[in-house]
Amino acid sequence: MRRPGTTKRTTAAGSAASERRDHLVKLAAELFARKGFQATTVRQIADEAGILSGSLYHHFDSKETIVDEVLRTFLEDLTARYRAVLESADDARTALTEMVRIGFGTLEPHRAAITVMQNDWNYLRSLPGDRFGYLVKAEDEVERMWVEQIKHGQAEGLFRDDLDPKLTYRMIRDTIWVAVRWFRPGGRLNTTALAEHYITVLFDGLAIGDRTSHNA
């Protein structure tokens, strides 16, 4: 028979280990974002956490495992929220508006992951095996979601039909993700205000008066 209190002690120990693991992931993510994944060593992560390098291996078998967790958490959160929007949005403009808000809304909670993806994408994809192949799959899925909504909006007469959907998406994508390089929490604009400003520019434009064509 299990002794009284054993289950509680086991649960508490498991919870503490999980919290410790999460703390180590956050510390490592900040180092990856600041120094770059390639330049960050296991010793530096351990030093940042105030533990011996060997102790880090009780939680992770490599720094690749850590960055894997950082990136998967971000991508799973992002794609899940995008899917929820697409299931509930009444039209393409509403869908894109909410997707822009979601994108900018990730700049604070997933700042480190976004920075790592921008700086170390090619390196991670070049590693042996297919460990980080999900990065390309996630990118393809996200691109498909955006491009389909842009095409739907064009078919519905909501968006201009003379714009290339994939190119339009990539310009939107880069605007959102590159913002992580200059956006600073606590500044004049928070991520909500930043998203709303961008939505205004995206749908209402910058110029006033007649549309100007530069094709001539």
What CATH number does residue 10 fall under? 1.10.10.60
What is the residue range of 161's domain? 63-216
pTM as predicted: 0.86
Looking at residue 201, its pLDDT comes to 95
Judgement on whether residues 55 and 68 belong to the same structural domain of the protein: no
CA 190-71-139 angle, 5° bins = 90
Q: Are residues 52 and 77 in the same domain?
A: no
- Residue 178 tokens, joined: 């590159």
Please state the domain count of the chain: 2
Please give the residue that has the higher pLDDT: either 172 or 1: 172
For the CA atoms of 83, 89, 91, 93, the dihedral, rounded to the nearest 10 degrees, stands at -80
Write out pLDDT tens, residues 168-193: 999 999 999 999 999 988 888 899 99
Specify whether 208 is located in the same domain as 125: yes
